[in-house]
């Protein structure tokens, strides 16, 4: 009997450890881009603008620039910020989940690694949303569907221009005054 | 009936355990530098390995001094006496509960197989690791020493790794054989307290 | 001596260990990440008063309304009567460099590269970057002293401009440039420029060297206009708020001979740093001339200097800015017209040139991870008329050296890929007449056949009339954009299985998987068997003692 209970708890611990270990990779996704960094950014921006559902670009932040300004080097990172008031509105109106505003605006990171390739980092919005009740879960499910479209590329189309300055936003980040910003 | 005799002196015990820890640590860091796994990260592993090596060098300086001033080095002189009996004991007698053929004394604390094994470690595996490790460490000075045309890092690393594998095998066997005393823990207790329980 | 020093170091490291795990922890940069990029203007350092003993504004020789460049040079030479002769012995004038070992004549005049290919037949355009006046074709007389251009290097007003089409003459009258753009370049006030000359600044050198290959940052990868006002992260020596080196701080110059040429690179400098007063044969444009070949406090790092160029670790990436550098130039796309049948131009996502019907297609990249290669400083170049094998990638320059050459080091390089025309019968890279307003100019008439025929004729080469396009590769050692020491590569960036040096052959590197596979297998099997042996032995003992007990 003792062995059975011991085994059960050992199993629980193992599963817990595994879950803890893989949680990071479940919450976030990373995919290799077939394009260079700037082109990846530009194509994702174009996709965001074409996906509908109220999505608008709200900023292009480069955290690497801050490191550079402090005198240090880092491989470049470009963070595309986008927002859909259709999705953010209901969450922001509900006091119980208002704290989820820390996830806004929706971000897609484009960065280079030491292998010279460009990567796209995304949040697994669908899974994350499920943890916060049915309303958030449903909204985040839609966000996840749209997000998947952000990184669907059509290589036959010419590379669009990267959109650096956001309307009303200072360069380097989305400001509170950005109309598209959430 | 069992009695207790004092076999390992204080410095010897200190030497043994600090050396044991350093060797385990060097295997851990060494195999990481070798690329077998990731634990500390290459940079830290390499630098810790070097720190441990120098610590072990200084420990050895004291140990060698101690062995010669106390005459304890004689403990490692090989003997053929009872070798066969020891092999028989490990392969047959131990399973039948036969008495240990060797009775340690303060003057002869290692059984004949221990003497051979430790002498092998001290005269072969150790020097192999020290020698290759030295050249590995002073790679940048080969030219100044005029040895750069005779040595290649690849082979120095090869023999250093070979020594490390031998040390690993010794380590595994050694740890197990500590349980083969009068009682499973009597050897280990002896190495901690200095007093060995014998029949 | 050395072992003692090492003991001290390891003792230090050991005490660092005792100090706690944080002693080795890499500082996190998260706080820096959170902050938005501040947009700060670099406060310009106050210009120090000139230390020169002469105020050129007061010389009566310069109180003239000069009409042309050569007139200014004549005035300069009244006092500096050896200057032109000196310049005429430099590559800046001859566009020629002789390999000291093989005698091969290289230099812009003789090679065909995979950017604009060759100045031959295009002198009027290309010679905007010649330190002289009037090199418009092969008839140029290299002995005429007044044709040396003093001002392009010594102007301090940053108003001296030379445009393509003028064969090296400055802008004498207000000109629209580029043609049809509606932008105008003002005529140079030669009197003012002549009176305010000084030592060459980053602006002077950069006017040509930042823009090689026809666009900002295109050619070298480690040189672009970002080095005009660099921050510390980009170049620790040229940092405008820090050391603020000019090009000439390293490329120190004697008799107008500028040290540090890419044709003969000081690839493996040995010995200590230069000491003032001591006779010095070390190339001043090398890291070691100031830092020596053992610059690190850690002996283990110094051991690397036998095999690795400083640049390999200290320039973690090149083109570290939005300007970027060109990775490839595909000439075979030139003469391809837009959908409307007219010449067209396209830019890439970052706003850099991507396609031009005149010139072909380009690929650009920022923050480029270098290609690492063994290099002993010598390159064998593809010179005009050399035979090629079109079945293979043609090497514009063959980088010399290897793992067993004591004068070779592992260098970071910028490999530029090209696709450019060649003569299918004579098997040579072709010369083409690109710039100009005449009927044979490629950029005017979009006709390869005419352009190659004219180019080959100007270069005195036979042309079969059949051309194709061949893949080429040009390798540049990377040496500028040195990062602060904290940004050097870390050990594991090379000492790992898929590290930066995974393509480097001929050396054993711990941690890279260079291990003897047989020994590894044997070693682990022996260890495993020992383990299984003792487990079996122990199990037997337990089993038998249980049965008895």
Where do the domains of chain A lie? Answer: 27-150
Query: Quick one: pLDDT band at residue C47, thresholds 50, 70, 90?
Result: low
**Which of B56, B136, B176, B184 best probes binding to C when mutated, by most C CB atoms within 10 angstroms?**
B176
Is B35 in Cβ contact with C512 (below 8 Å)? yes
Per-residue pLDDT reduced to its tens digit, B15-67:
999 999 999 999 999 999 999 999 999 999 999 999 999 999 999 999 999 98
Per-residue pLDDT reduced to its tens digit, A154-163:
999 889 999 9
Which CATH fold would you assign to the domain B3-198? Fumarate Reductase Cytochrome B subunit (1.20.950)
Is C232 in Cβ contact with A71 (below 8 Å)? yes
Q: What is the pLDDT of residue C19?
A: 40
Which candidate from B33, B48, B175 shows the least CB-CB separation from C511?
B33
Where do the domains of chain C lie? Answer: 224-434+468-535
ipTM: 0.89
Residue C410 pairs with which residues in a beta bridge? C308, C374
CB A139 within 8 Å of CB A90: yes
Output the 3-class SS for chain A.
Answer: CHHHHHHHHHHHHHHHHHHHHHHHHHHEEEEECCCCHHHHHHHHHHHHHHCCCCEEEEEEECHHHHHHHCCCCCCCEEEEEEEEHHHHHHHHHCCCCHHHHHHCCEEEEEEECCCCCEEEEEECHHHHHHCCHHHHHHHHHHHHHHHHHHCCCCCCCCCCCCCCCCCCCCCCCCCCCCCCCC
Nearest-Cα distance to chain A for C411, in Å, is: 17
CB C423 within 8 Å of CB C466: yes
User: Considering chain C, what is the average pLDDT of its residues?
Assistant: 89
Q: What is the pLDDT of residue C1?
A: 37
Residue in chain C nearest A44 by alpha carbon: C349
Residue A122 pairs with which residues in a beta bridge? A29, A108
Q: Write down which chains contact chain C via at least 3 CB pairs under 8 A.
A: A, B
As a whole number of angstroms, the distance between CA B157 and CA C405 comes to 21
Is C17 in Cβ contact with B164 (below 8 Å)? no
Residues of chain C contacting residue B165, judged by C-beta atoms under 8 Å apart = 519, 522-524, 526-527
Residues of chain C contacting residue B139, judged by C-beta atoms under 8 Å apart = 303
Residues of chain A contacting residue C33, judged by C-beta atoms under 8 Å apart = 63, 66-67
Cis check: omega of the bond before A105, within 30 degrees of 0: yes
As a whole number of angstroms, the distance between CA B102 and CA B83 comes to 10
Which candidate from C492, C513, C531 shows the least CB-CB separation from B41?
C492
**Which of B35, B39, B48, B91 best probes binding to C when mutated, by most C CB atoms within 10 angstroms?**
B35
Nearest-Cα distance to chain A for C36, in Å, is: 6
Which candidate from C36, C234, C348 shows the least CB-CB separation from A173?
C36
Residues of chain C contacting residue B95, judged by C-beta atoms under 8 Å apart = 540-541, 544
Which CATH fold would you assign to the domain A27-150? TATA-Binding Protein (3.30.310)
Per-residue pLDDT reduced to its tens digit, C56-103:
999 999 999 999 999 999 999 999 999 999 999 999 999 999 998 888
CB A138 within 8 Å of CB A156: no
Q: Quote the tokens at residue B130.
A: 């020290």
Residue in chain C nearest B42 by alpha carbon: C492
Nearest-Cα distance to chain B for C511, in Å, is: 4
Please report, rounded to a whole number, the percentage of residues in chain C having pLDDT higher than 70. Answer: 91
Interacting residues of C423 by C-beta distance below 8 A, sequence separation 6+:
C429, C430, C452, C456, C462, C463, C464, C466, C467
Report the predicted TM-score, pTM, of the whole model to 2 decimal places. Answer: 0.86
Residues 291-320, chain C, touching B (beta carbon < 8 A): 299-300, 302-306
Which candidate from C492, C516, C537 shows the least CB-CB separation from B158?
C516
**On the CB side of C504, how many CA atoms lie within 13 Å of its CA?**
31
Q: Which of B185-189, C133-137, C216-220, C373-377 has the lowest mean pLDDT?
A: B185-189
More confident residue, C241 or C262: C241
CB B4 within 8 Å of CB B193: no
Q: Which of A81-95, A166-180, C106-120, C244-258 has the lowest mean pLDDT?
A: A166-180
Residues 18-77, chain C, touching B (beta carbon < 8 A): 24
Q: Write down which chains contact chain B via at least 3 CB pairs under 8 A.
A: C
Interacting residues of B155 by C-beta distance below 8 A, sequence separation 6+:
none
Per-residue pLDDT reduced to its tens digit, C243-294:
999 999 999 999 999 999 888 888 888 888 888 888 777 888 999 999 999 9
What are residue B105's phi and psi, to 5 degrees?
Answer: -130, 170
**On the CB side of B2, how many CA atoms lie within 13 Å of its CA?**
12
As a whole number of angstroms, the distance between CA B140 and CA B153 comes to 11
The residue among C239, C156, C282 whose CA lies nearest residue C480 is C239
Q: Which of A46-50, A135-139, C187-191, C455-459 has the lowest mean pLDDT?
A: A135-139
Which candidate from C17, C538, C541 shows the least CB-CB separation from B51?
C17
Angle at A72 between CA A71 and CA A78, to 5 degrees: 115
As a whole number of angstroms, the distance between CA C115 and CA C476 comes to 13
Q: What is the pLDDT of residue B191?
A: 86
Residue C7 scores a pLDDT above 70: no
**Which of C35, C36, C362, C503 best probes binding to A when mutated, by most A CB atoms within 10 angstroms?**
C36
Residue A179 scores a pLDDT above 80: no
Nearest-Cα distance to chain A for C119, in Å, is: 32
Interacting residues of C342 by C-beta distance below 8 A, sequence separation 6+:
none
């Amino acid at each position: 009997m003792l062995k059975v209970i011991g085994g059960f708890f050992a199993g629980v611990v193992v599963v817990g450890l595994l879950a803890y270990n893989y949680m990071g990779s479940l919450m976030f996704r990373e995919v290799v881009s077939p394009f260079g960094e700037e082109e990846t950014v530009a194509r994702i921006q174009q996709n965001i603008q074409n996906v509908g559902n109220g999505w608008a670009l709200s900023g292009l932040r480069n955290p690497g620039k801050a490191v550079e300004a402090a005198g240090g080097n880092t491989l470049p990172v470009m963070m595309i910020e986008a927002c859909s008031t259709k999705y953010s509105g209901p969450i922001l109106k509900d006091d119980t989940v208002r704290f989820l505003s820390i996830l806004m605006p929706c971000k897609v990171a484009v960065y280079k690694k030491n292998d010279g390739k460009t990567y796209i980092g995304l949040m697994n919005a669908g899974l994350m949303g499920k943890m916060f009740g049915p309303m958030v879960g449903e909204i985040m499910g839609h966000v996840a569907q749209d997000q998947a479209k952000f990184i669907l590329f059509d290589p036959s189309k010419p590379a669009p221009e990267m959109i650096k300055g956001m309307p009303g936003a200072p360069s380097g980040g989305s400001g509170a005054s950005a109309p598209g910003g959430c | 009936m069992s009695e207790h005799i004092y076999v390992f002196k204080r410095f010897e015990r200190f030497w043994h355990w600090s050396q044991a820890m350093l060797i385990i640590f060097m295997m851990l860091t060494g195999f990481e530098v070798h690329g077998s796994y990731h634990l500390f990260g290459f940079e830290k592993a390499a630098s810790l390995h070097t720190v441990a090596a120098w610590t072990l060098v200084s420990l050895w300086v004291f140990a060698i001094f101690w062995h010669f001033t106390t005459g304890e080095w004689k403990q490692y002189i090989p003997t053929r006496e009872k070798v066969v009996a020891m092999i028989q004991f490990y392969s047959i007698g131990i399973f039948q509960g036969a008495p240990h053929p060797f009775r340690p004394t303060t003057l002869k604390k290692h059984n004949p197989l221990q003497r051979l094994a430790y002498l092998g470690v001290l005269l072969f595996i150790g020097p192999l690791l020290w020698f290759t490790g030295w050249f590995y460490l002073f790679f940048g000075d080969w030219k100044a020493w005029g040895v750069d045309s005779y040595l290649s890092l690849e082979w120095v690393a090869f023999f250093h790794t070979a020594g490390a594998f031998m040390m690993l095998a010794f380590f595994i066997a050694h740890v197990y054989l500590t349980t083969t005393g009068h009682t499973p823990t009597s050897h280990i207790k002896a190495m901690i307290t200095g007093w060995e329980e014998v029949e | 001596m050395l072992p003692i020093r090492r003991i001290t170091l390891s003792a230090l490291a050991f005490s660092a260990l005792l100090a706690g795990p944080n002693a080795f922890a890499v500082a996190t940069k998260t706080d820096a990440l959170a902050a938005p990029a501040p947009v700060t203007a670099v406060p310009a350092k106050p210009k120090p008063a000139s230390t020169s003993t002469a105020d050129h504004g007061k010389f009566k020789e310069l109180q003239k309304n000069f009409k042309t460049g050569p007139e200014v040079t004549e005035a300069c030479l009244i006092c500096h009567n050896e200057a032109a002769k000196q310049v005429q012995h430099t590559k800046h004038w001859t566009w020629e460099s002789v390999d000291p070992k093989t005698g091969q004549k290289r230099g812009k005049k003789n090679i065909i590269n995979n950017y604009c290919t060759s100045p031959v037949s295009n002198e009027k355009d290309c010679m905007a970057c010649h330190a002289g006046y009037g090199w418009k074709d092969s008839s140029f007389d290299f002995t005429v002293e007044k044709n040396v251009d003093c001002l392009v290097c010594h102007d301090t007003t940053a108003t001296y401009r030379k445009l393509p089409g003028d064969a090296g003459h400055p802008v004498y009258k207000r000109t629209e440039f580029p043609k049809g753009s509606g932008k105008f370049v003002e005529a140079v006030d030669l009197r003012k420029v002549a009176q305010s000359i000084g030592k060459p600044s980053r602006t002077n050198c950069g006017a040509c060297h930042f823009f090689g290959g026809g666009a900002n940052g295109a050619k070298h990868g480690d040189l672009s206009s970002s080095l005009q006002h660099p921050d510390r992260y980009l170049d620790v020596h040229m940092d405008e708020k820090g050391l603020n080196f000019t090009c000439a701080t390293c490329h120190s110059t004697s008799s107008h001979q500028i040290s540090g040429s890419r044709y003969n690179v000081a690839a493996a400098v040995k010995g200590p740093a230069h000491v003032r007063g001591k006779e010095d044969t070390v190339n001043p444009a090398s890291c070691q001339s100031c830092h020596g070949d053992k610059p690190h406090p850690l002996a283990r790092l110094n051991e690397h200097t036998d095999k690795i160029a400083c640049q390999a670790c200290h320039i973690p990436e090149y083109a570290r800015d939005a300007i970027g550098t060109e990775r490839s130039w595909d000439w075979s796309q030139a003469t391809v017209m837009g959908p409307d049948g007219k010449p067209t131009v396209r830019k890439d996502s970052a706003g850099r040139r991507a396609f031009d019907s005149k010139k072909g297609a380009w690929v650009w990249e920022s923050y480029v991870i270098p290609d690492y290669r063994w290099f002993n400083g010598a390159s064998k170049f593809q010179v005009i008329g050399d035979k090629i094998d079109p079945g293979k990638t043609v090497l514009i320059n063959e980088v010399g050296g290897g793992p067993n050459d004591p004068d070779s080091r592992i260098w970071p390089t910028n490999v530029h890929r090209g696709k450019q025309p060649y003569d299918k019968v004579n098997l040579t890279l072709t010369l083409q007449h690109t710039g100009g307003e005449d009927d044979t100019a490629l950029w005017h008439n979009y006709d390869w056949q005419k352009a190659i025929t004219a180019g080959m004729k100007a270069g005195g080469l036979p042309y079969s009339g059949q051309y194709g396009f061949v893949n080429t590769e040009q390798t540049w050692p990377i040496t500028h954009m040195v990062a602060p020491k904290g940004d050097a590569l870390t050990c594991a960036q090379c000492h790992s299985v898929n590290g930066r040096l995974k393509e480097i052959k001929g050396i054993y590197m711990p941690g890279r998987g260079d291990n003897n596979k047989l020994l590894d297998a044997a070693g682990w099997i022996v260890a495993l068997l020992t383990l299984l042996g003792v487990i079996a032995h122990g199990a037997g003992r337990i089993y038998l003692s249980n049965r008895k007990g």
